[in-house]
Amino acid sequence: MDKILAGPILRRVERSQVYIWLASGEPLSLSAKLYGHDLTSPPLSETSNVKKAQLGEKLFVYLLKITPEPGTASFPEGELLYYDLLVQDAGGNEYSLVRGNPDFVFYESGHQQLPGFFIPAGSKFKRIMHGSCRRPHAKQALPGWEKMDQLSSGAGLIEAHFDDLNERPAALFLTGDQIYADDVAMSVLAMLIDQSQPLTGWHERMPVDDHGGEVTPADIKLHGRMHELNLAGFGITSTAADNHLLTFAEYAGMYLAVLGGEVSLPQRGHVFSRIHHSAAVDYNRERKRAMAFFATRRDIRRLLANIPVYMIMDDHEVTDDWNLNPAWEAKMYGNPFGRRMVSNALAAYWAFQGWGNDPDKFDDAFLDTIEAHLNRHQASGAEADAFDAQMLDRQVADRWSYSLSTRPFTVVLDTRMHREAGSNGQAGACVLMNGPARHWLTQLLQQQRNNLGADYPLLLISATPVFGFARMEKFQQVASKLGISPATLDLESWRQGFPLLESVLTQPASGVREVTVLSGDVHYSFSSQGAFNSTAPDVQIHAAQLTSSPVSNNPAGGVIGKVLLHVEQDDDYPELMTPQETKGQVTSLNNIGLVLFADDGSTEKHVLVARRRKVEPPKHVLTYQYSSSGV
């Protein structure tokens, strides 16, 4: 098992295809088998197609596609399916990577030594999970709660309901900030730098000017990157960027860690001479928090192997405030270092998150361009230029957005790569989807109306909430008028572009009846209601705004947060905040969200699931009953 760096992760799953993702330290001769719930019967499919991307000397990312046997139209729905991954060694012997694997990618409660999942009957979601924001070294969210990654509570739900398909969630949506590239613990960066050379074969050099100037980030002392590289000069606005990820190997290594790979953080003594003189952080305390986060990595690994996982990035996959507004973009993309850093981040995002969402979007030429640059080990040249040009390209409006033919119909929005200036100009708050991106959504909804007829329910995933928590957003607007910068305030809500989105959804040809919006980003969780209105024609679409944020980060909760959120304490869970004047709920709890859909595809309930200690089973700690008549 040593050769497997992360995975298997179950990715896009449909009746006609199942994708499995895997990262390996060496090339493998892989195949897959899909079984029905009775494992004594022959496999349902032994037909698999394998794509490989070599991203470093010892970094291979695989995407396996299993399809029904010829003559069979689709895989069975509404029943447990299991899969096996097989490797052929040099002698032609085949062995399983997952069966009986001591690293626990199967659940004991599944009664089989293989990972398992299901395709809901009629592709109709009854229950799904969602969550966002996993910063390993964040302090524990609430006093009295153990520091942990609440994604592991999602793993607990699968374990508890492995073969009860009424209770078991059918998919997991990770809605942004799956990594924090800008805000990295010193111990984690030390580990990532140490892994870089073995993983990719070099310590990457990055261009700093247009005259051949280069820098090797691995040579900079820990916690010294902001200081020594003057990252702000390249356009980085994060205030926590002393250990900012910069090279492809660092971004890739961070993904391997958060996706359940092996983690070994060095002790302070081992890195003492590598710490920058300006560092004023408690190395050991930060390391302890990160260790507590990674302590549940086997739960995470098992979870991701046993449920279809869909992902979308927010800003921290690249850097804080990524593409905040045109002024921010002009500075970042106006220099070769900024361009390369974003290209590295996006190439890693593609390999570890984006590829498996909608694999058909990425052809061989796309893979070739990435491989050609990453395996050449040069900071500049034709391959490097082609790499930057491809990763930063914004011609394709749905490069990272995608949809799923489920009920409700699922649309996952990229709200980062296709922005445009709002009414406050180049340096103000932005519209999150520009004309071409809105045109793509318009066409997609019209197509659905043609396929499904009018009045279909929509599941919309947007990293930042479409219907924000009003009190907090108003505070941001007032503060902005007082001169506090959009970057400081994270002024990235939908407020600027809401009427434009509203007009797309309410257009006569869209056919959308009811919307469930899933979001993260804000570091507090809330469930509320909203509506998209149009006077001509007279349309009102009810919406449930369900926000689960964060899985592991620090919520708004200090004195300012409590005043803004107008806290009333709950008797059973004194940590929960229930504001008096809203029809929703808001909380600073770390959690994973569970959405229950009614038979017609509208939201029925939003449940926040969490546990206080790693040894406890996850609990439903806050349940919000949705009713569209409550708007």
Residues of this chain that interact with Fe ion (CB under 5 A) are 133, 177
Are the C-beta atoms of 320 and 176 separated by less than 8 Å? no
Least Å distance, CB 602 to Fe ion, is: 28
**What is the 3-class SS of 442-470, one letter each residue?**
HHHHHHHHHHHCCCEEEEEECCCCCCCCH
Q: Which of 139, 151, 295 is nearest to 591 (CA)?
A: 151
Phi, psi of 429 (to 5 degrees): -65, 150
Least Å distance, CB 550 to Fe ion, is: 6
Least Å distance, CB 315 to Fe ion, is: 8
Reported as type and span, the H/E element at residue 197 is helix 186-200
> Which of 348, 522 has the CB closer to Fe ion?
522
Q: How would you class 346 by CB atoms within 10 Å of its CB: exposed for 0-12, middle for 13-18, buried for 19 or more?
A: buried
Distance from the Cα of residue 333 to its chain's centroid: 24
Q: Could you tell me whether strands 512-519 and 456-461 are parallel, antiparallel, or unpaired per DSSP bridges?
A: parallel
Q: Could you tell me whether strands 17-24 and 4-14 are parallel, antiparallel, or unpaired per DSSP bridges?
A: antiparallel
> Which of 56, 555 has the CB closer to Fe ion?
555
> Which of 84, 177 has the CB closer to Fe ion?
177
Are the C-beta atoms of 114 and 162 separated by less than 8 Å? no
Least Å distance, CB 455 to Fe ion, is: 35
> Which of 235, 550 has the CB closer to Fe ion?
550
Distance CA 257, CA 296 (A): 11
> Which of 18, 181 has the CB closer to Fe ion?
181
Least Å distance, CB 317 to Fe ion, is: 10
> Which of 445, 487 has the CB closer to Fe ion?
487
Residue in this structure with the two tokens 């960027």, named with its chain if needed: 241
Are the C-beta atoms of 254 and 183 separated by less than 8 Å? no
Least Å distance, CB 523 to Fe ion, is: 6
Distance CA 184, CA 101 (A): 31
Are the C-beta atoms of 83 and 115 separated by less than 8 Å? yes
622: left (phi over 0), alpha (psi -120 to 50) or beta: beta
Residue in this structure with the two tokens 């004194």, named with its chain if needed: 574
Sign of CA dihedral 250, 252, 255, 257: negative
Indicate the length of the chain as a whole number. Answer: 631
> Which of 359, 520 has the CB closer to Fe ion?
520
CA distance to 155, 405, 435, 504, per residue, from 396 (Å): 35, 21, 12, 19
> Which of 159, 182 has the CB closer to Fe ion?
182
Distance from the Cα of residue 591 to its chain's centroid: 15
Least Å distance, CB 111 to Fe ion, is: 38
Least Å distance, CB 572 to Fe ion, is: 27
Are the C-beta atoms of 223 and 271 separated by less than 8 Å? no
Least Å distance, CB 133 to Fe ion, is: 4
> Which of 133, 309 has the CB closer to Fe ion?
133
Packing angle between helix 248-258 and helix 336-349, nearest 10 degrees? 30
- 184: CB partners within 8 A, 6+ apart: 137, 192, 243, 244, 245, 254
SS3 590: coil
Distance CA 225, CA 416 (A): 25
Least Å distance, CB 96 to Fe ion, is: 37
Least Å distance, CB 486 to Fe ion, is: 16
> Which of 133, 170 has the CB closer to Fe ion?
133
Indicate the residue type of 280. A
> Which of 130, 221 has the CB closer to Fe ion?
130
> Which of 177, 299 has the CB closer to Fe ion?
177
Are the C-beta atoms of 177 and 464 separated by less than 8 Å? no
Least Å distance, CB 522 to Fe ion, is: 8
> Which of 177, 388 has the CB closer to Fe ion?
177
Least Å distance, CB 549 to Fe ion, is: 7
